[in-house]
Amino acid sequence: MSIEEYSNWNQRESDADAEQEPYRKYVFICEGENTEVWYFRRLIDLRKTLGLHPLIDLRLWGKTDEDASLSAPNRLVRFANEQKLLPDLGFDPSFDKLVIVFDADVFEREQPEKYRELLEAREQDNIFAVTNPSFELFLLLHLEDAYDNIILPNQQKLLENSKIGNRRFAELLLSSNAGINGKKNKKGVAELAEHVDTAIIQETQLNQDICLCMGRLTSNIAKIIDDIRHDAPQKKSKANNNNDLQSTIIDQI
């Protein structure tokens, strides 16, 4: 097994709640090994603060062993699609959604046409959570007034995201303004997740259309989180089937 699953679904206030099966699972799988994983683990722990519907579950599939360093977006998507088929993970494509988190900067720099091909091949139950250039841009949005005071004045340098020494510009910008190294500071990244409402508001000032992200500062992660927060399904029953869903489902172009 190449997946380590993280969820707090069974951590409920009563035994009755713990016995309840989720109606829909949103499963995150990330390109990065550390930063993104630290963020989404904390986000899962914040499900009560987020105000998620009781029948919505958040889970994280963490890559392990030989797959831990797998990062190329096309390989990540192929790997994620393979994991959905494993019966032990209980992914139900009729109800569940897989959120695949990756950066578009490699396409921006090298093969933009490959990005279009990746979008066209996307499976219906997959949601692409994309940042251009990198996840650090999304993390910056958690800081008050970051768009006006940090991102906007540096938009061209952010989009280029050139290496300065052994780190890219977005990483250095996060370090200088949040006081953390996003690649090493687990606690600092987790604490940023507690300000996701700030990110949701500020992200609307960036491009959120992942089909138009080449050449634009882009992030749709906060939008996805907000959409999940507003998913309000009815209780799943044996009578329900894929043609009788009374729920709000995230739509992506």
Closest CA to 128 of 214, 208, 39, 199: 208
The whole-number pLDDT of residue 69 equals 63
Beta pairing, strands 24-30 & 97-103: parallel
User: Contact, 250 vs 224, CB < 8 A?
Assistant: yes
pLDDT at 2: 64
Question: What mean pLDDT value characterizes the chain?
Answer: 87
Mean of pLDDT values over 64-85? 82
Amino acid at 50: L
pLDDT of residue 10: 60
Q: What angle do CA 207, 213, 219 make, to 5 degrees?
A: 50
